[in-house]
A and B are shown apart, each in its own frame.
Chain A
Amino acid sequence: MAAIPAPKILSVSQVNRLVAGMLEEYFSDIWIMGEVSNFKAYPSGHLYFALKDEESQIQAVCFRDSARKLKWKLEDGLLVIGHGRLEVYVPNGKYQIILDTIEPKGLGALQKAFEQLKKKLEQEGLFRQERKRPLPKLPKVIGIVTSPVGAAIHDMLKTLRLHKAHLKVLLYPVQVQGEGAAEQIAGAIAGLGRREDVEVIIVGRGGGSFEDLWPFNEEIVARAIAASRVPVVTGIGHEVDFTIADFVADIRAATPTAAAQIVAQGWHELEERFREVSSDLLNVMQERLFQEEQKVEELSRHRAFELVSRRISEISHQAEMQRAEMVNSIRSRLSGVTATVNSLTVRLSRQSPVAKIKGWQIQLGSLNSRMERSMTARRSGLSARLEGLAGSLNALSPLSSLARGYSICLKPDGRVVKSLSQVDVGEPVMVRVEDGKLGCEVKEKIKGGGNGK
Chain B
Amino acid sequence: MIQQLVMYEEELQQINRICEVLHRDSNARAVLVIDKNGQAIASAGDVQELDVTSLSSLTAGNVAATGGIASLLAEKEFAGQFHEGEKTNVHISIIGARVILVVLFDERSSLGLVRLRVRKASVELVVVLDVLVKKSQSGSQPSVFSEITDDDIDNLFND
The answer to whether A and B come from one shared complex is no
